[in-house]
Amino acid sequence: MTPDRKKEFDRTMSDQNHQITILAENAMAGNRVSIEQLVDIFHQDIFRLVYYKTRTRMDAEDITQEIFIKMMKNLHRLKSPNKFKSWLFSIAYNHIRDYFRKQKMLGVFGLNAGVKDFNPEDQDTNNPDEDLLKKEFQDKLFEFIEDLSRWEKEIFILRFINHLKIREVAAVLKKNESTIKTHLYRAIEKLSRNNELRDLLTGDAG
């Protein structure tokens, strides 16, 4: 990225962060339109996070809705509007953890079927070759993520799937930034050694 493009990118991100802060302030004051706008802005990101953890469309849709309901009910607890994003992802992260606790309990009683049926990025492109490549990439990415350690997996998803900054990942996981960077570095090292996934990322497959 050239210096000019980096400046433009940083300026765009600053504008977006400022917009989210203003919306969060208004939402805390009970402004319904601002709440709806925040849901619209973050819905895809939260759904993606949930899906990469649950792998089922039905559960991902239900849990995403529950997360935003919890967000609305707890807006009065948000202390800093400029921390809204990390606060929302903390709610999501904790809710997903509760989901897995419940699934584990259901599993004890044989009540958990656990169907994996959906790709959150799955949209027909009317291009069979492109669709196949997309599915292959998703499958390889899932395999790679599953092979990571617990914290490498959590941090990799938040950083690269949901594009949170290091400090935001640290806030969500309640760990210091140096710890986040250490686990992230290990995950990136493993990614660099994954030839199949790296080729798909760079377009060198086949």
Mean pLDDT of the chain: 79
Q: Are residues 80 and 7 in the same domain?
A: yes
SS3 of residue 155 by DSSP: helix
Instruction: Say if residue 99 is exposed, middle or buried (CB neighbours under 10 Å; 0-12, 13-18, 19+).
Output: middle
* 173-202 burial code (b ≥16 CB/10 A, e <16): bebeeeebeebbebbeebbeebeebeebee
The 10s digit of each residue's pLDDT in 146-196 is 889 989 999 998 888 888 889 999 999 999 999 999 999 999 898 888 887
State whether residue 205 is helix, strand or coil: coil
Same domain, 102 and 77: yes
Domain identity same for 20 and 46: yes
pLDDT at site 101: 77
Q: What would the DSSP string read from start to end of 30-73?
A: T-HHHHHHHHHHHHHHHHHHHHHHH--HHHHHHHHHHHHHHHHH
Q: Which of 116, 142, 160 is a domain's end point?
A: 116
Do 110 and 132 have their domain in common?
no
Shared-domain flag, residues 73 and 42: yes
Q: pLDDT tens, 17-41?
A: 889 999 999 999 999 999 999 999 9
Q: What is the domain extent for residue 102?
A: 1-116
Contacting residues for 115 by C-beta, under 8 A, at least 6 apart = 56, 58
Residues 172, 85 contacting (CB under 8 angstroms): no
- Asked if 125 and 195 sit in the same domain, the reply is yes
> CA-based diameter of the chain, in Å?
59
Residue showing tokens 């997903």: 96
Do 54 and 106 fall within a single domain?
Answer: yes
The CATH number for 142's domain is 1.10.10.10
Q: pTM score, two decimals?
A: 0.68
99 and 161 assigned to the same domain:
no
158 and 178 co-located in one domain: yes
Within 10 Å of residue 21's Cβ, how many Cβ atoms?
16
Q: How many domains does the chain have?
A: 2
**Length of the chain as a residue count:** 206
Six-digit token string for 30:
């009970």
Do residues 54 and 156 both lie within one domain? no
How many helices (H) and strands (E) would you count in the chain?
9, 0
Range name among 12-26, 62-76, 93-107, 137-151 with the lowest pLDDT average: 93-107
CATH of the domain at 49: 1.10.1740.10
